[in-house]
Amino acid sequence: MGGALEARNCPNCGAALHARAAASNRLTCRYCGHAFELPRAPAPPPRQVVLNIPRDLSREVAAAQRVVSSLITFAVVIGVLVAVGGGILATRAASKAKGSALAALSAIPGMPNIALPLARADFLWDTVAGPPIPVPAASGSESVIGRIRKRPGDELWIASFEGANFAQTWAVGPFGTYSEGYRSTFMAVVGKSVVVTDYRANVHVYDVSTGHEVHTLKLSDRVKAMCSAPDGKPQVWIEQNDERTGLVDAATGTTTPAARPAWCPNDWATRNDCRGWLKRGAPVSQCRGPEAAPKVPAFEALNVLEDSDVAVALGKKHPGTAVPMAVGFDPQTHAVRWEHPVPSGDLASAAESGGVGLMDALAGGRFVTPYQTTPRGWHFTAFDGRSGDRLWDVELQKVFGVDNPEGFSLSPTRVYVMRTSSVEVYDAKTGSLLGTLGQP
């Protein structure tokens, strides 16, 4: 038998590939025929959660020490059980004891500084479906919802994660295996509802807070495109494989025939639609074509984003070396407010503008976009949309395999960057890494 199946993305066409681990480090895409080397990288260190406490907590520290001491004693007993042949039962008992002990430690007020490793995620983020959809919270951190691939069966689920520790709050599914449902399982968040389609030609409506199913609709065929209404209405527009189109009302659980609305641009109608050449996720309704940008010397616009009284054009220097550039302007008068190179530091080390990096977003007055450095490296950077001040610039973590960003979403508070099979979450104000969803 061969080695374990490993997921890869073709760097040429973006197709999802699966190959068995072997001594050879070369892979050929069965879709476009492109052959490429798989980079080798050491396994990432275990994630750490640090619990901070105030000082002078001798009573609580003593309680923690007693719990730790009990855990150590129990571990010794488990080791004896393993030695005499009770490996499976002992391992389960140790896992349960460890969970109980860690829960007890976390429950102690003012717990002293102890770093605890996080368990490996039991899912992969399905980057083909697009980045997470942020869900604003009445209090605390916003949650996110998206499509995941659960292991070991590679089934498609829709899952919600809270924003403090990124723990899963609910999951619905399965919607078939990845091969069965990846082209017809769409998802949108509208109002207080999550709308999901499946490969059996159904539309499901779930409560966004609990995941409880409130409506199920039967269609005449599978869905091949879906857009959510941008005005806050609980509606999505769908297009089916049999060319029927209509509006689904998530509140009432009804459908009405309707032609494609202006707020749902065709997925592939334009080349540079703010999502990058992979075009992951739903179309960006606030993205405009290059014709919406003002004329600026030595600048070629590729797309434009507008949000209220802020507009930013992403493009490149032209003529000359195609250094990525951004131009901020007033969307009403087209008066130019600022223009800057997207890369910071030495521009000679920046890669020229290309399809992979042509993704950008505008929210909360911040303009965010990635850029590449040579020979290999990716950064995300943020500008104040009105003043043009650079707010932050961070280098993405190195991940095994193809490490270019496959898309991202932006909220007023966070940036969600898709990698090969995971999502990195950054603070939109500072650029600091907050956590990761899925297994890198």
Q: Look at residue 242 and give its three-state secondary structure.
A: coil
Domain assignment present for residue 313? The answer is yes
pLDDT of the residue at 278? 81
pLDDT of the residue at 20? 52
315 and 379 inside one domain? yes
CB contact at 8 A, 426 and 408: no
Listed as ranges, residues in the chain with pLDDT below 50 are 1-5, 21-23, 46-58, 60-61, 64, 67-68, 76-78, 80-120
298 and 339 inside one domain? yes
10 and 108 inside one domain? no
13 and 64 inside one domain? no
Instruction: Give bridge partners of residue 316 from the DSSP assignment.
Output: 300, 324
pLDDT in tens, 86-139: 443 343 444 344 444 434 433 444 433 333 333 346 899 999 999 999 998 877
Domain assignment present for residue 200? The answer is no
CATH number for position 295:
2.40.10.480
pLDDT of the residue at 102? 38
pLDDT of the residue at 285? 78
66 and 32 inside one domain? no
33 and 52 inside one domain? no
H helix or E strand, kind and range, residue 218? strand 213-218
Domain assignment present for residue 181? The answer is no
Domain assignment present for residue 177? The answer is no
27 and 55 inside one domain? no
Domain assignment present for residue 299? The answer is yes
Model confidence, pTM: 0.72
pLDDT of the residue at 391? 98
Domain assignment present for residue 341? The answer is yes
Q: Looking at 61, 86, 117, which one is the last position of a domain?
A: 117
pLDDT of the residue at 23? 46
Provide the domain limits for residue 68: 48-117
Strands 378-384 and 390-395: antiparallel
DSSP string for 48-88: EEE----S--HHHHHHHHHHHHHHHHHHHHHHHHHHTT-HH
Domain assignment present for residue 225? The answer is no
User: How many C-beta atoms surround the C-beta of residue 119 within 10 A?
Assistant: 9
pLDDT of the residue at 162? 92
323 and 370 inside one domain? yes
Number of domains observed in the structure of the chain: 3
96 and 13 inside one domain? no
pLDDT of the residue at 282? 82
12 and 110 inside one domain? no
pLDDT of the residue at 65? 53
Which residues 6+ apart lie within 8 Å of 214 measured at CB?
193, 205, 206, 207, 253
Domain assignment present for residue 302? The answer is yes
